[in-house]
Amino acid sequence: MNNENLSFATIAITGALGGIGREVTRTLSKLGAHVIAIDLLEQGEGESELRKIAPNESTYLQSNLTDNQSLRNVIEKMSEGEFPNAVVALAGIVISGDLVTQSDEDIEDVINCNLTSQIKLSREIIHHWQNKSIEGQIIFVSSWVDHVPWPGITPYASSKAGLVALSRGIARENAKFGIRSNVLSPGIVDVGMAAKQWREENDYKLRAMRAIPLGRLQSAQEVADGVSFLLGPRALYMTGSNLLIDGGASLYPMDPEDVN
Ligand SMILES: NC(=O)c1ccc[n+]([C@@H]2O[C@H](COP(=O)([O-])OP(=O)(O)OC[C@H]3O[C@@H](n4cnc5c(N)ncnc54)[C@H](O)[C@@H]3O)[C@@H](O)[C@H]2O)c1
């Protein structure tokens, strides 16, 4: 491992085979980490996808993190091998639509995946780190909408705001163990869920086109660079922080007619 770049040798990445996850996985693998990629894809298919992006030392673990047993299994498998000393929590979903149009299931799915499963996963990870005196770090991936009312994704934004509280709580409770927790909040990225909304929801595209002061979508590499920074030696004093890398999107009012 190149210690100039990363302070952690074994890094678990949830949602590792998603749009942003692939770039984060590729980048951390290139920097010399043993990556443990966790995603929904069936084991064989996941392994072959992972080989394409992280041909060095890497492990794929299939898990649906919203399922308690599946989450426990993934923790157990990691305990049998090299347990990660850092986690990048990227697994997430978005369901678009004004709140009044969203069903109970839509709301529960978003909160379960984006918040509840992350609370449970971090509880298990931290329990292990405390028992083994591992000074680990968790990075939760939130979004610039954790404090900006972008229309049509209110349950999603609520889940992301919850992640900020989760991370700060973990940071406060675990600083005495040398365990740190930080949030990274990207803007509007040109892959994954935002790219899908951009393609499929005209309203979203019109708003997004006008809402980024730097005038372009964010690359997944720019998110991966933020993750690498938080996992590196220059961020050792950071805990309980929310690193916002959004091209200024959160600086703008949200209704198109209010922009400019
Ligand atoms: N794309 C953006 O513009 C953007 C902006 C800000 C924040 N984010 C956040 O970044 C993260 C990654 O987003 P993305 O755009 O790459 O989305 P994506 O849909 O491409 O990737 C999400 C990944 O999470 C996995 N996943 C979903 N539910 C899971 C579960 N129950 N168990 C295990 N894995 C599960 C999916 O299989 C997928 O590979 C998300 O948390 C998202 O909220 C994305």
Does residue 214 sit within a domain?
A: no
**Count of CA atoms in the C-beta half-sphere (13 A) of 238:** 21
Candidates 64, 70, 90: which one to mutate for ligand 1, based on the most atoms within 8 Å of Cβ? Answer: 90
pLDDT tens track for 144-185:
999 999 889 999 999 999 999 999 999 999 999 999 999 999
CATH of the domain at 166: 3.40.50.720
Of the candidates 148, 119, 129, 110, which has an alpha carbon nearest to the alpha carbon of residue 242? 148
Does residue 93 sit within a domain?
A: yes
Give the atom of ligand 1 at the shortest distance from the alpha carbon of 17. 39
Residue 47 burial (10 A CB sphere; 0-12, 13-18, 19+):
middle
Instruction: Identify the residues whose C-beta falls under 6 Å from ligand 1.
Output: 14-15, 17-21, 39-40, 63-66, 90-93, 113, 141, 143, 186, 188-189, 192-194
Among residues of the chain, what percentage have pLDDT more than 90?
A: 86
DSSP 193-224: HHHHHHHH-HHHHHHHHHH-TTSSPBPHHHHH
Q: What is the pLDDT of residue 260?
A: 44
Candidates 39, 146, 147: which one to mutate for ligand 1, based on the most atoms within 8 Å of Cβ? Answer: 39
Helices (H), 81-186: 104-111, 117-132, 154-174
pLDDT tens track for 46-87:
999 999 999 989 999 999 999 999 999 999 999 999 999 999
111/118 Cα distance (integer angstroms) = 10
Among residues of the chain, what percentage have pLDDT more than 70?
A: 95
Does residue 126 sit within a domain?
A: yes
Answer whether 96's CB lies under 8 Å from 197's CB. Answer: yes
Number of domains within the chain: 1
pLDDT tens track for 9-56:
999 999 999 999 999 999 999 999 999 999 999 999 999 999 999 998
Does residue 206 sit within a domain?
A: no
Element holding 51 (H helix, E strand): helix 43-53
Q: Which residue's CA is minimally distant from atom 22 of ligand 1?
A: 18
**Strand locations in the chain (E):** 10-14, 34-39, 58-62, 86-89, 137-141, 180-186, 242-245
Q: Which domain holds residue 232?
A: 10-189+219-244
